[in-house]
Each structure stands twice: as C-alpha cells, then as structure tokens.
Chain A
Amino acid sequence: MGPVLALILGVAVVAGILLSAFDKRAEEAAAGPALTQVRGLIGSEKETFYRDPRVVAAFARLGLQVDVQKAGSREMAAHPELKRFDFGHPAGSPAALQLQQVARAQKTYTPFFTPMAVASWQKLLPVLEANKLVARRDNSYFIIDMQRLLGLIGSGTRWRELHGNTVYDSGRAVLISSTDVRKSNSAAMYLALASYVLNDGNVVHADDDIARLLPALTPLFLKQGFQEASSAGPFDDYTGMGMGKAPLVMVYESQFLEYQSRLPQPNPDMVLLYPLPTVFTKHVLVPFSEAGSRVGEALQHDAELQRLAAEYGYRGASPQHFTAFMQQKKLQAPATLVDVIDPPGFAAMEKLIDGIAQGLQ
C-alpha cells in the first residue's frame, strides 16, 4: 500500500467515525431521552397486556421500557434469578405477599383486579339450571352456587347422572378444571373459595380446620389428573378443545372477557358463571428496585394505562373504564359483585396448598 493511499484512507476513517457519531446523536435526539430499561417477571395471564404496543407506548411516554418474562405466579418467589428483575407482577395477593417477603419490598401496588369465574357453555345452561346450580341475575349474568356444586363434586356425581341432562352424555365426574394448585394462583383462588364454602362460610385459618377440610379439598384437584402450571393451559383447553374437554373451568373473569372482546363477534356458545360467593384476584405489583416502583406508579395512576387494562378485562381503581369497555364490546358483566370473600391468610393458604400437594404426590 502506498503512503498516499494510506493517508487518504486514514482521513476517510476519521471523517467516517465523526459522521457516524453525529448520526447516532441525531437518532437519539429524534427518539427523545433514553428509556429506562425495566425487567419484570409476570403471571402469564398479563403477557398480552404488557406486550400490547399501546401499553409499550404509554410506558415509553413515561420514560420506561418494560421487558417481561412469564412465570407461574406461585413459582415467582422461588425463581432462581429473581435478582435479574426489577419487579414481579403475580396474580393474587397470597403470591404477592410471599414475593414481597422474599424481595423485602416496602411498598406494593394494586393497579387492577379481577374476580374468579367459571367458564362454561350455553348448551349446558339448561341442565345446570335444572339442577339448581346456576341462576340468572339481573337478567344479564349468571351465578353458580358453589355450595351445591362442591356438594355434587364431593359425592362423585357424574354428568350423566345430572337431572334432565340430554346434552352432555358423559360418564365423566362433575369437576371444575383448574391449574396446578402448587404452582398457579388461579387454582389457589379456587382452593380459597372451596375452603371457605366447605368451612360453612368462614375464612380458614386454624390448623384444626385445615386438617379437617383437606380430605374434602384434595379430591377437587386430584381427580382432575394432570394439570398445567399456568392459567393459560385450562383456558386453552376451553377455547381450543371445547365442551368435551372443558365443561367447567375456573378462570379469571378478565381472561374470558379479553378473549371474547378480541373476536370479531363474541362467541355466543361461551358463558361466564360468577361463583357465589366469589373471590378477587388482585394483580399486585411487587417492586424490587426504584425502576420497578416507577412501573407500579404508572400502572396505578396513569389514566391511559388504566384504560388499556380495562381492554384486557381488568377492573381498575374506578369502574368507569371497565363499564365503558363492556358496553363498547357488547359484553355482559356485573358492574359490582356482592358476596366477595377474602382468601385465607398467607400462612393458612400455604398449609392448605402443602396439604393438597402431599395428596398429589
């Protein structure tokens, strides 16, 4: 290589480096200030919400870029790489409490919540009504009598044995399908509900009560056989495989409403039954860092994020967004629910779950 050529190249290199540096600065100016990267561990049911471009944009407006990864809500506290994340956003206050203890978080956020519900089928309504399991309320939604239903499940009743059943000729036992209670919140909420009902309408906390109730609670899960760890599994069964696989599925109200609202027309074969009594799943955000707290603040207080949460079927701080979205999508959901119970405390819940887990071994 001649000296002249080398020199020219050298100059070109310097110029090029300057130019590209300038380019980069211009790009940054156009994009606004750099976003704070935040990593969150979330319950699978909130994945589509967090990945929605409008949610991403709302966070960006607040200077945040949120990367999320899914985990079973109850498995979060034991996640081996928890330190890599800025927040955890499980479903359910018991899971959040556990996470809060592990992460030693001072403050938590509850930007939205959803009641537990039972997804079922229009075709089954006559037989459920004939057996006094289901009744219509306010001419707009259905309630399902948990005490009666748990009684039927406890006695091992099969579908074929239900009074007036001409639509579901199956020897399958009447059961509610749920996720794996050891790993997922939605099953834990089913357990909370069942323990309350079987404890004659009292929240369980004493060890005696737990020991007394476990023999009746364990079969609710054991009889189901293999269960999926995340709440997407049974709901996938419900939407994908239909009535033959999933006549009654414990779901979050939000899951059902989100699914229906995304269809060109809500699927008229699918119905949501509101358990009486019911229990709420609170979506509590547990921050592990300052950046995580900013996400909590944003979700709780930013009007746009609250509105978007309603589009995912969640009920937020005020009911207006939720009600407006239901009207817009021509979906029916009670504005408020009465007879809502509290789940057992963290310690009692753990003991109940451990007891069931032993039965499942």
Chain B
Amino acid sequence: MRKWLGVLALAGVLLLSACKDGKEAAQEAAAAAELTVLAGSELKDIEPLLPQIEAATGIRLKLHYAGTLDAVERLQDEGQAYDFAWLASNKYALLTPAAKARIRASERTMLSPVVIGIKTSVARTLGWADAARPPSWADIARACGEGRLRLAMTSPASSNTGFAAVLGLASALAGKGEALELADIDFAAQARFARAQTVTAGSSGWLADTYVREEARLDGLVNYASVLQALAPKLSEPLTLVYPKDGVITADYPFMLLREERRADYDRLVAYLRGKEFQQAMTASTYRQPVHPEVQAAGSKTDYFELAFPARLEVIDGLLDAYLHAVRRPADSTFIVDVSGSMQGERIEQLRKSLQGLAGADSSLTGRYARLRDRERIALVRFSDHVEDQQVWELGKDRQRNDRQLQAFSDYAGQLQTTGGTAIYTAAKAAYEAALVRQHRDPDRTYTLLLMTDGKNNEGLSAKEFLAWFAALPPERQRIRIFAVRYGEARSEELDALTQPTGGRVFDANKHGLQAAFKEIRGYQ
C-alpha cells in the first residue's frame, strides 16, 4: 500500500510538471532539434548565418551538401529524408516529375547571375573591359575558339555554374530570342567555347580556390557574380565581370519544403529569410543580390538580360549529353586502384561495382552523367605492393565500337582480385609516367589521375621520394592533377601529400560509399 501510494504520488508530480511546462518544454524541444536541409554546395557561405537564423526563428538548421544533379537524385530517391531543400536553382528538379513531386513549396531567397570573370588586362585586349559594351556569347565563343582565353569552368553535369554557362551560350547562339529547343543548338560554337576550358571541376567552390592558386596560367573563370566579387581580395590581378550582352542565367536559391509536417516551420523560415534583417546580413557577407525591395545589394550591381530557361528536360539532357560526349575537350582518365589484401571481400566487390557503374551499369541520374564518355581514353592501373598491370581502353565516336570497349573494361573490372601489400607512391609514379608519355603524343586532352586506396603505404617509394621525383619534373610536365579516393583505413595525410602538389584533392568514400566518390570525381576528369 505504502509503495503504491508513493508511486502514484510520484507519477502525479511528473504528470503535473509535464502539464505545467508542456508548452515551454515543446518549444525547447523544437529549438533544440535540428531540421535538415538538402543544400547546394554553393550555400556553404550561409553557414555563418545559421546561428542568426536560429536566434530569430528558434529553428536550428543542419545543411547536408550535394552537387546539382546529385541533389535532384536525392530529392527523388530520398526526398523524405530531409525537411527542406535549398539549392542554387530548382528548375532541373521541377522538370523531373519524381523530384517535383517532393517539393511542397518553394520560395526564392537571393539572386546571383552566372558570369565570366576575366582578368582586366585580358578583357582590355579583347575589347570587353567597358561594362556598357559587353561582348555577345558569339564573340566569347570566337575568342575561345581562337585560343585567346584559358578559363576555369565546372563540369556542366556536376555543377550549376558550368551548366548555366553552357546553357547561356546555347540559348544565345540559337538566336531566336526565346526558349531553347534541341534542334537549335549550335554544337560547333559549343565546341569553340569548350576549347577555353583549361580547368574543370565538380564544384564551383573548389574551382574558385583552384583559380586563386593557379591564377598565373589562367585568364579567368566562370562563376557566380557574387563569388567573383568575394574573390577579389585574394587575387593578384583584378577580374572584369563580363555579362554577355545576349543575357545570362541567374541562380535564385529557392528554399523548398519537402515534409508537409514542417510547414509551420517553413513559413517562419521563409518569412525570416526573405525579410530585411537576413537579406541585409546575407548580401553583406555573400555579395548575392537581395530579394527584399528595401535592401541594397552589397557590391556592384549591373543591369543585364536574362535568358529563358528551357521548358523541356530533353533539351537540357541533350545539351549535357552533347557537351560530355561530343563538345568538351576529351579526357584521358587514369584510375589507379588498390587491390592489396585489405581490399578483400566487400571492398573489392564495391570497387568492381563502382568501375562497372562508370561503364554503364549505373542507370541512376548521376550514374548516367558519370559514365565514361565518347572520345575518352581510360587507363586502369592495378597495384598492390607493386604495379600489377596497366591497361588502356580508347573510346571513339562509334557507339557500337565503344560498347565493345566498355564491355571489355567492365569484364576486366569484374575480375579484379586482391593480393599483397600497398605501394601507393610507386603506383602513382608509374601511372604518372605513362600518362606523360600519352600527353606528349596527344596533348589536346584533359589528363587526370585518380588513385583509390584503403590502406597505408607500406611498400615501394616513400612520400618523400615521390615528392622529390615530382618536384624535379619540368613545370610543363607537372600539369596532371592527381586526385585520390580515401577508402577504409587509408590515411588522409598520405593522400594529401600525393594530391596537393599537383593541385588535386581527396574524396572521402567513407562518407557516401565508393560508388558515390567515383561519380563525384567524374566532374574533375
């Protein structure tokens, strides 16, 4: 009896306190809980403003970053996994029925046009320095075709800025002054423009960082006007922002509701994001243009024309396919893969699957655009404690012949077996030397190496020996970037040592899997 009474009383107290503080407790819980946002990687510069958003709305946002097509794919496959999405543009998503179905509401939050930043001295030489008389896209394509411009631009299949430039060029050159149709695309002009693309990348942020490092050998870069303005203090030579006179494509950063039950939070967030306070802070820190009529844009604002965005997905897909398979400078892509003992089991299986995915087995949206392309040359270097084998496959324009090559590549990948220790630097050096031989013979390609490993270097060359060898190469032979995929127990510092001197970067396959990493790297090849 005594015990029973005590339990009852205690329960009563708990109940009472729950009643009394119910509302407050719920508010606290809501404030403490993080709501998730599928965010374009361009929005990393919003991160410092998140505490301010939380203070004003009581909502803590956690941003999960993704590239353009990756975000569309995640929307359609796992739209329910996020509360909101915040991308540079949602037009591709809205043209994709499965992704569109996930978007419950959408409001634009800020603006930034995609333009070309060109070194002012180069812009003067080309006669483009006067903002009142900008060149047309045709003028730009001509200068590119004549080899007068070396530009850094992201891959249009991986990132919104590269895509906006390619679409802008195609729309302007169609010359009809209205939305682009497939039949109107001038592929010859696209190819002239593509000749200027000296650096490619999967993300606009990495591209901008690379431009800062390699400014001396480039004439400019394609990026958001806001990013180019923010870049100014880091550059030794100022950029002239060229807004082609036919028009550009502007990112409008829509904030989207994905889960209906978050609508009240969404309304609160949108009201704040579009309100004066956030718009002021946003434009001051990011240089993007505000959407609030009473907030002045930080930095310069230029009047420009906006080009129409296509209404059909087939136009965009046709443009991207053509760019990758027929227009861009062809790639020479080396895959250096670790088949040492530690790769045994699930890991080697993932490696086989990732490589076969690139050969056409991956039918997802991102898989489709990560595929090995027409005119691409692929080298596969298999290593353990020594280089086991090097193979090269050449893809051309003939699709039937290409299919046979891809089948051979796929069969080879399917038979990869594990053995022995790990000689990272020995393998990298051998692959680099082989690529240099091919580059000497056939210079007009984008050469890259990708090394995938799951372990630490325990055989062959040391990092120091490799770096000494690399440093001794003549500068014009140091232009092949090495990228790395870190898998399993591979050490970040070993891979940084390998990639940094070459201007490459490391991708972590432990986050989203080996296949996702192999697809991401394709934007850089």
Contacts and interface: CB of A to CB of B under 8 A. Distances in A.
A and B pair up:
yes
B306 A244 contact: yes
B497 interface: no
Contact of B246 (A3, A13, A171): A171
Interface string A166-197: 00011111010000000000000000000000
Classify chain A: how many residues form its interface, as a range: 35 or more
Given A17-B16, A69-B263, A224 B303 contact: no
A13 B9 contact: yes
A78 interface: no
B175 A13 contact: no
Contact of B310 (A16, A171, A226): A226
Contacts of A6: 2, 5-6, 9
A1 interface: yes
Contact of A20 (B20, B107, B294): B20
B13 interface: yes
A264 B295 CA distance: 12
A338 interface: no
Interface string B160-181: 0000000000000001111110
Contact of A171 (B6, B177, B309): B177
A225 B180 contact: yes
Contact of A10 (B5, B91, B180, B245): B5
Contacts of B311: 222, 224-227, 360
A250 B118 CA distance: 37
B304 A244 contact: yes
A360 B91 CA distance: 16
A158 B8 CA distance: 82
A225 B179 contact: yes
Contact of A13 (B16, B95, B305, B306): B16
A181 to B, nearest CB: 11
B176 A173 contact: yes
A5 B105 CA distance: 55
Contacts of A13: 9, 12-13, 15-16
B186 to A, nearest CB: 14
Given A9-B12, A20-B16, A224 B293 contact: no
Given A236-B108, A241-B111, A16 B16 contact: yes
Nearest to B303: A244
Interface in A213-269: 222-227, 232, 236-237, 239-245, 259, 263-264, 267
Contacts of A12: 9, 13
Interface in B208-259: 245-247, 250, 252
A245 B178 contact: no
A329 interface: no
A351 interface: no
A307 interface: no
A108 B249 CA distance: 43
Determine which residue in B12, B178, B293 has the highest number of CB atoms from chain A within 10 A of its CB, and name it: B178
Nearest to A174: B177
Contacts of B291: 236, 239-240
A14 B107 CA distance: 50
A170 B247 contact: yes
Contacts of B5: 3, 6-7, 10
Interface string A1-33: 101011101101110110010000000000000
Contacts of B247: 170, 172, 244
B19 interface: yes
A226 B250 contact: no
Given A16-B16, A173-B177, A227-B311, A70 B105 contact: yes
Interface string B110-124: 010000000000000
Interface in B392-408: none
Interface of A: 1, 3, 5-7, 9-10, 12-14, 16-17, 20, 69-70, 156, 158-159, 169-173, 175, 222-227, 232, 236-237, 239-245, 259, 263-264, 267, 360
19 contacts: A6-B6, A7-B5, A7-B9, A13-B9, A16-B16, A156-B176, A170-B246, A170-B305, A172-B177, A222-B179, A224-B311, A225-B311, A226-B310, A239-B291, A239-B293, A242-B303, A245-B306, A259-B293, A264-B294
Interface of B: 2, 5-6, 8-10, 12-13, 15-16, 19-20, 91, 94-95, 105, 107-108, 111, 175-180, 245-247, 250, 252, 263, 289, 291, 293-294, 303-306, 308-311
Top-7 shortest CB links A-B: A225-B179, A13-B12, A9-B9, A225-B308, A245-B306, A223-B178, A226-B309
